[in-house]
Structure formats: C-alpha cells, structure tokens
Amino acid sequence: MTGANTWKKSAELASQLERAGFSGMLFTEAGQVPWMMIAAAATAAPSLNFTTGIAVAFPRSPMMSAQIAWELAQNTEGRFRLGLGSQVKGHIERRYSAHWDKPAPQMRDYVNAFKACIRAFRQEEKLHHEGPYYNLSLLPGQWAPGRHDYEDIKIDISAVGPYMCKVAGELCDGLHVHPMHSMTYINTRLLPDLQSGADRSGRSASDIDLIIPVFAIPGDSPEERQSMINRTRMQISFYGSTPNYSFQFDDLGYEGTTQKLGALMKQGDLPAMANLISDEMLEHFALVARWDDMADTLIDRYQGIASRVVTYLASEDIHRHPENLNKWGEIAKAVRQHQALFGASVTVVQPDTQDTNHQ
C-alpha cells in the first residue's frame, strides 16, 4: 500500500518491491490522483499487479473511470484492476463540489454505468444506461477507445456497512475491506452481507475477491516494533472516531469508545486518542509478530478469507528503514507461496444470533 509520491519515486519503489518478492502495489487517493503513479510504476515493474485502494468514485463520471481503467488495463497488459470508494459526504460536497445522496444506491448505479461503458468499449452493445444517478447514451465512434487484448477489467469497491457490502456481493469482482477490522466483524457482518448481495445475482461470496489491508507489525524486539505500534494506535483511533464505525468497538465489548474518541478529536488531543487503543484492542485490529513469524501469522488469520493481504505499514517502514525491504519481501514471498499452494476461497460464517441492529 502506498500513497502520494513523484512518478520517479513511484517507479523506483515498484522496481524495489518487484525484486524483493511482492506481487503488487495498491495506490490510495488522498492529496494526489493515482493514475500517473501507477503508469510510472507499471513501466518500471512489468510483473507487478496494480490496483487503486481506493479511487474516489462520485467526483468522476462513470465514463471517465471506465476510460482510465481501459487505458491502464491495456498498458499494464491486464495487470490493473479498479478499486472505487464513496468517501464521505463532507469530502464529496465540500472538497470535490460533487453530488452526494445515498452512497450505496449511488455506488450501485455507478458500477452498473461503468459496466455499460466497458460493454460499449468492447462493442458488445451500444452505450445505454439509464439509472437514478447516471444516464449515458452517446459514444460516437471517434470518441470510443480502441479495442485491446485486456478488456476483462475487474472492478472492486470499498465497503464497511451492510448496504455497500451487498452492492459488492451483487455486482463487483472484489471488495476492499476497511483497514480497521476485526475477524469478528468479517465473520459476523461482512461475509454474511456479502453473501446476501451475491444471492441477488446467483453468485457465491467465494466469487468475490476480498482485498484486505492489514496493520502488520513485524519486529524482533518490543523496541523495534514500538514505532509501528504507535502509528497503528493513532490510525485506529482516527478511524474509530467516525460514528459509522462505532460498531467495530461495540461488537468487541468496547462500547462507548467511538464517542470518547470523537470528544478527544474535537479537543485536538491526538495522544489521548491513541492511548485509548489498549493492547487488547490492538490484538483485534493488528498483527504483531517477529519477522520470521509474520507470514504464518498473516496466513493463520486470513487464509480461506483474503484473496490479497495488503501491508498497510510496509511502505512507510521501508522509507524509514531501507534495510527492512528484503524482510518485508520474505513475508510477501512466503504468503504468495502459500496462496499458490492452497488458494483462498471465501468461507461464509453466519452469525450465531440474529443481530437486530444490523439490518
């Protein structure tokens, strides 16, 4: 997982990761759009896979996203998949000056419109999509992108709550799991909702790839791990201050944590926010292990569930400690080898009891 960077540095990092044994790079979108960084990285590392995790959907028309994905798929020779997310209302309306309504229905229409564009690019049908948010019906020949050999473009969305998870299950090739997650959340909320959506289109949850960013914290001593632990506590406290994520704490027995974090956020007391994330909480939301044990730790938690695990902290750690690059690479190679041998089909675990608050 990586974020804003120059094209040159993106290419250099991609080359280093390829040599170290990684399978791909996930690019976030915050202060910088990801497309040119991906192009630079893909040119430098011809075996890596690339995805956005995530690109913000609603400020872009589905046609624009389809054109970008089409071009990247062609030039990476099929090594690109598009990951989209809704972001939140404040950013969509006040940073992008774009329309925000009901995110799950809007994303559902967006994905269908994107797929209509791709079918038109493939010349399977004329462009025609009429939905509650997007209407597309004009694609003259001179404006249509050229055909190529890599037209099976996968589209994934990020999802946390039940409605967006169902959209992913019904329509998408993959789902980007939120970095702040516990296995309780995945097994009792996300997977059943994913299956519910998949049922609508006659699919199984195993048909949808789960792309899971992980707070993996390797190190052979407490001192070596401490900076990444501090970084993780801060990030979890930031995510956890969002009211829509309060159930992540509540389901684990930490009721009221989000409200406490929100109050501290308003005060600007970031250290106190991080201190609210106890060691016990950290065990649910992060993985802490020695370097030689981290691959097995990742496999033990995510085998049978994740199609890809994404190292949330590796890029930052490699930047601070270049000597750790090959250690991260050994983790990646070990996980890839296990994946090649055993695969990662999704197992759906139904909740033991009815969750009346999760409709």
DSSP 253-286: T-TTHHHHHHHHHHHT-HHHHHHTS-HHHHHHHE
Residue 233 lies in a domain: no
Q: Which residues pair with 216 in a beta bridge?
A: 287
Q: Which two tokens stand for residue 242?
A: 């969002």
Which two structure tokens, joined as six digits, stand for 87?
A: 């972001």
Q: How far apart are CA 212 and CA 174, in angstroms?
A: 10
In a domain, 355, yes or no: no
Q: What's the gap between Cα 287 and its chain centre?
A: 18
Domain that holds residue 198: 7-219+286-342
Between β-strands 155-159 and 174-177, what pairing exists: parallel, antiparallel or unpaired? parallel
* pLDDT of amino acid 344: 55
Q: Rounded CA gap, 203 and 199, in Å? A: 6
188 lies in some domain: yes
Task: Retrieve residue 210's tokens.
Answer: 């789960």
Residue 276: what pLDDT? 97
Rounded (10°) angle between helices 222-240 and 257-267 = 90
Q: Does a structural domain hold residue 258?
A: no
Comparing CA positions, the residue from 72, 232, 82 lying closest to residue 155 is 82
Q: How far apart are CA 87 and CA 102, in angstroms?
A: 12
Write out the two tokens for 131.
């939905």
Q: How far apart are CA 198 and CA 204, in angstroms?
A: 6
Within-domain flag for 55: yes
**Could you tell me the two tokens for 44?**
């430098």
Number of domains into which the chain is organized: 1
Helix-then-strand count for the chain, H and E: 16, 11
Q: Residue holding tokens 């309306």?
A: 93
The Cα angle at residue 164 between residues 162 and 165, in degrees rounded to 5: 60
Answer whether residue 319 is part of any domain: yes
N-to-C CA span, the chain: 32
DSSP 34-75: SHHHHHHHHHH-TT-EEEES-EE-TTS-HHHHHHHHHHHHHH
Phi-psi region of 94 (alpha: psi -120 to 50; beta: other; left: phi over 0): alpha
The per-residue pLDDT for 29 is 97
Tokens at 204, concatenated: 């199984």
Residue 37 lies in a domain: yes
CA atoms within 13 A on the CB side of 14: 27
DSSP-derived 3-state class of residue 21: coil
pTM of the model: 0.94
- 202 assigned to some structural domain: yes
Q: Which residues have CB under 8 Å from 311's CB, separation 6+?
A: 1, 213, 214, 216, 328, 331, 332
Q: What is the 3-class SS of 142-186, one letter each residue? A: HHCCCCCCCCCCCEEEEECCHHHHHHHHHHCCEEEECCCCCHHHH
pLDDT beneath 70: ranges in the chain: 344-359
CATH of the domain at 326: 3.20.20.30
Counting Cα atoms < 13 Å in the Cβ hemisphere of 83 gives: 28
Q: Which two tokens stand for residue 255?
A: 């009721």
pLDDT at 342: 78
